[in-house]
Amino acid sequence: MSKTVLQRHLFGPGPCNPYPEATAALGLPLLGHLDPEFIARMDRVGEGLRTLWGTKNVRTLPLSATGSAGMEAAFVNTINPGDVAVIAINGLFGERMCEVASRVGAEVVRVEHDYGTPIDAQRVADAHPNPAVIAGVHAETSTGVVSDIAALGAIKGDALLFTDAVTSIGGMPVLADEWGIDVGYAGTQKCIGVAPGLAPFTISDRAFERRVQKPQSWYLDLGLLGGYATGATGGGRTYHHTAPVAMVASLEAGIDRILAEGLEAVTARHQEAGSLLQQGLQEMGLELFAQEGSRLPQLTTVYVPEAVDSAKVRGYLLERFNIEIGGGVGQYASTVWRIGMMGPNANPGSVALLLAALKEAIAKA
């Protein structure tokens, strides 16, 4: 172990710095994964996640893996070979949905959008008359764009609606029941303000009834994992795997921190930080990437100025100020920066620090 413990300002696309309460909870004495106290903790976490998801779904739980496993669980549990999946693509994570859907045998109908623009629900509706699944990303981490998921819910018909809420949950309203989300997945490392390692997941009764009875993934089989959500209230807990008990304790503390502040207050704090950052970047003469009117407050994308080396600026920020920001993805890897103000970092002080450091880095890198 290094003698020097680095304290970074994680202002990239994720992970962000965790809430102090979430970090402190990692040091609590471990409980066994079948301990009655841990079962009670899982129940509390499930209830807290239902609040964050805006749902009453009984099967709302933290999967023991990162958000990408949440995406895989969504598709592997609900799609049979030959099912039509209409997938809206306006960034990297829509592309990944297509990749996972194709691997479970779906007939994928791609609805392409320009990167930096939100999903057009009417184009999605027109893509196929009777799909089994419609899928889209709420907050596209690769582009900094927010899309109207309620509009997709309004046109889904008999299809199941899948939603990636990795960068939105815990930082802006997510209303799964109201919007018509049937399967939603997220991660802990963004606005929830917890270290990466768990995937907050929710599935409606409607989607669960249609599930694949024996999915190709044993580990992510929601039928086997059901005891996470219902075992305690049913009088017993289904053993499936050894849960990451310390991470669950940390997630409980992170959720408690958010709910103590209040979801409206947390949303307002993220909105203020994002607005201050975007205003400050524009005052520096920089151009924002995402379409105006659809910009995420918690994740801002900005063009790298001409004749500026993106990697050198990011390196200068890291070495000089211990600040991490992200590059772009794909064709925008060296022409866009991604700057996150999420979780405890969503505050005016973080914005001021980032803007001052970035101005110096552009000048000197």
∠ CA 16-19-23, rounded to 5°: 100
Bridge partners of 62? 200
Alpha helices in 104-225 (DSSP H): 121-126, 149-155, 176-179, 205-209, 222-225
CA angle 332, 342, 167 (to 5 degrees): 60
Residue 234 vs residues 43, 52, 199, 229, 240: alpha-carbon distances, Å: 12, 24, 23, 10, 16
> With contact defined as beta carbons under 8 Å apart, do 198 and 244 qualify?
yes
What number of residues does the chain have?
365
- pTM equals 0.96
Pairing mode of beta strands 107-112, 84-89: parallel
How far apart (Å, rounded) are the C-alpha atoms in residues 131 and 134?
7
Closest by CA position to 321, among listed 48, 23, 9, 44: 9
Looking at residue 18, what DSSP letter applies? P
Dig out the tokens for 40 from the structure.
Answer: 């009670």
Q: What are phi and psi of 72, to 5 degrees?
A: -65, -40
Q: Report which of 125, 132, 99 is spatially closest to residue 111, judged by C-alpha positions.
A: 125
Q: pLDDT by residue for the chain (365 residues), tens digit each?
A: 567 889 999 999 999 999 999 999 999 999 999 899 999 999 999 999 999 999 999 999 999 999 999 999 999 999 999 999 999 999 999 999 999 999 999 999 999 999 999 999 999 999 999 999 999 999 999 999 999 999 999 999 999 999 999 999 999 999 999 999 999 999 999 999 999 999 999 999 999 999 999 999 999 999 998 776 666 445 567 788 999 999 999 999 999 999 999 999 999 999 999 999 999 999 999 999 999 999 999 999 999 999 999 999 999 999 999 999 999 999 999 999 999 999 999 999 999 999 999 999 999 98
Phi, psi of 257 (to 5 degrees): -60, -45
Contact 82, 130 (CB under 8 A): no
